Amino acid sequence: MRKTPTKVARHRRSVARVASRARAATVAAPQAMPLTVVILAAGEGKRMKSALPKVLQPLAGRPLLKHVIDTARTLKPAAVHVVYGHGGEQVRGALNDEGVSWILQQPRLGTGHALAQAMARIADDQLVLVLYGDVPLISRATLSKLLALAGSRSLGLLTMRTDHPGGYGRVVRASGGRVLRIVEEKDANERELELTECNTGVLAAPAALLRRWLARLGNANSQREYYLTDVIAMAVKDKIAVRPLIAPTLAEVLGVNDKAQLAHLETAWREQAVDALMLAGVTVADPARLDVRGTVTHGRDVFLDVNVVLEGRVALSDGVRVGPGCLIRDSEIGAGTEVFAHCVIDEAAVGPGCLIGPFARLRPGARLGRGVHIGNFVEVKNARLGDESKANHLAYVGDCELGKRVNIGAGTIIANYDGATKHRTVIRDDVHTGSNSVLVAPISVGAGATIAAGSTVTREVPAGKLTVARARQQVIEGWRRPVKPHK
């Protein structure tokens, strides 16, 4: 049906009104403030009793501070600033490739003073998220919720509830639940010490307001420090909304001050990582005896036995089985491969359908094709083994290239090092080496060749031939073994 002129006019006016409302809504919608993250990491950590600065203490194979930096990056901030102090050059040296801005706090006069050192590099239009280098398990999900509470006229404050609040500042609220201030434990009265909601130190606030509050901080307290926590009372006084968020788990906001707390968080990390693997379909023989110290990707029907350690970036394909007591670091394991007990696999790539171990060691540069067998007390380093090749017993295979269906006999070694230089060996398809052979590199062995047991081979081995390189057996008549003189 055609529209009449009147209907057309009404329709056009209606469309114009909708468009006008849409433009107005767009103009009125608040713009998200650019995010800057400041990580306070200047603490000494005396209770660690270690020459290593606190923020470099390892958790799940990475420094505490590295965990925090990695989480901060997931928020896509415009910049990440790290305020460092104790062990400064050591901290910067260990994490120099992280692409963060380093700011020295010297002297160290408290958390408020530390944040003030970073503010010179932060524009007023930024939203500032304050994190801590010794609080490693804080999650992206929690921080995203906290950031949603902060804005140009509001401050997001992360708190926690605990039955054991000793050592933490207490969050003081009005009778209606509104946050009034934070009081440090050493400055709290008896009523405040009974509070169980505590400050985590993590907050998000607009840079312009933070700058103003930090300039007003004083140090009239028991520790003569400039507390960042004092800005909460300043925000309340300035009628800036303080929006609290209680952390969903205690583990993600706990700090590390000594080795006992570090071990406690290691357990929490392990539980989280193992739970994630099991929920994704990995079978774990005993969740309490699997250590994940990195990133693990996996296929279906993967089985991990007790006391397995996975470090760095580990990829486990469908049907991989890993026996007890194995360490796998920065490696890929192909589908259907079984790794038997007590193996070490480090920076290696293992193809599908392989059998590894027990007590085997794959060192950096080991590359195994399909169906390769590496048996007990065999070491492979910087070597490529073709499909269905085998080294089943007591062998060293280093700096070499093996073809398909090669059989390395028990006790065979490839002597790759002359004391100054590593040399490479090439072994073609279908070669067999006898037990206790020595192949002195550089050397090549032709396809289908057989090397007799006990041979020390120093020259090229022709294809399809039997090569014997050992002294002729002799019997020396009349020889007598020396006798020790009587004392």
| pLDDT score, position 20 | 43
Quote the pLDDT of residue 32.
Answer: 80
The DSSP bridge pattern shows strands 432-433 and 450-451 to be parallel
Cis peptide bond upstream of 107, omega within 30: yes
Confidence (pLDDT) at 45: 84
pLDDT tens per residue, range 246-272: 999 999 999 999 999 999 999 999 999
**What percent of the chain lies above the pLDDT cut of 70?**
94
Q: Mean pLDDT, to the nearest integer, of 304-312?
A: 97
Pick the residue with more confidence: 24 or 43? 43
Q: For 259-467, which CATH class?
A: mainly beta
Residue 15 pLDDT exceeds 60: no
What average pLDDT does range 276-285 have in this prediction? 98
Which H or E run includes 73?
helix 64-73
Res 296: pLDDT: 97
> Of 43-47, 123-127, 146-150, which range is least confident?
43-47
Burial class (CB in 10 A: 0-12, 13-18, 19+), 118: buried
What pLDDT is recorded for position 2?
40
- Output DSSP code: residue 208: H
Least confident of 87-91, 256-260, 289-293, 427-431: 87-91
Q: Where in the chain is the domain with CATH 3.90.550.10?
A: 35-253
Q: Check whether 27 has a pLDDT greater than 50.
A: no
Please give the mean pLDDT across all residues of the chain. Answer: 92
Q: What is the C-alpha to C-alpha distance for residues 192 and 182, in angstroms, rounded to an integer?
A: 10
Beta-bridge partners for 314: 296
Instruction: List, for residues 362-375, the tens digit of each pLDDT value.
Output: 999 999 999 999 99
Task: Tell me the per-residue pLDDT of 74-129, one tens digit each, with 9 for 90 and over.
Answer: 999 999 999 999 788 899 999 999 999 999 999 999 999 999 999 999 999 999 99
Output b/e per residue, 461-485; b: 16+ Cβ within 10 A.
beeeeebebeeeeeeeeeeeeeeee
- The pLDDT score that the predictor gives to residue 1 is 40
Q: Angle between the 207-215 and 230-237 helix axes, to the nearest 10 degrees?
A: 110
Task: Write the pLDDT tens digit of every residue in 434-449.
Answer: 999 999 999 999 999 9
What pLDDT is recorded for position 17? 47
16-20, 190-194, 414-418: least confidently modelled range:
16-20
Both tokens of 414, joined, read 């490839």
Superfamily classification of domain 35-253: Spore Coat Polysaccharide Biosynthesis Protein SpsA; Chain A (3.90.550.10)
- Per-residue confidence at 193, pLDDT binned at 50, 70, 90? very high
Q: Residue 400's closest CA among 420, 422, 378, 369?
A: 422
Which pLDDT value is given to residue 136? Answer: 96
279 dihedral zone (left: phi>0; alpha: psi -120 to 50; beta): alpha
Distances (CA, A) of 456 to 272, 383, 448, 467, 470: 53, 20, 18, 10, 7
- CATH 2.160.10.10 domain span(s) along the chain: 259-467
C-beta separation of 260 from 49 below 8 A: no
Residues with catalytic roles: 393
* Cα–Cα distance measured from residue 129 to residue 208, given in angstroms and rounded to the nearest whole number: 13
**Whether pLDDT at 413 is above 80:** yes
Q: Quick one: DSSP state of residue 423?
A: -
**More confident call, 304 vs 46:** 304
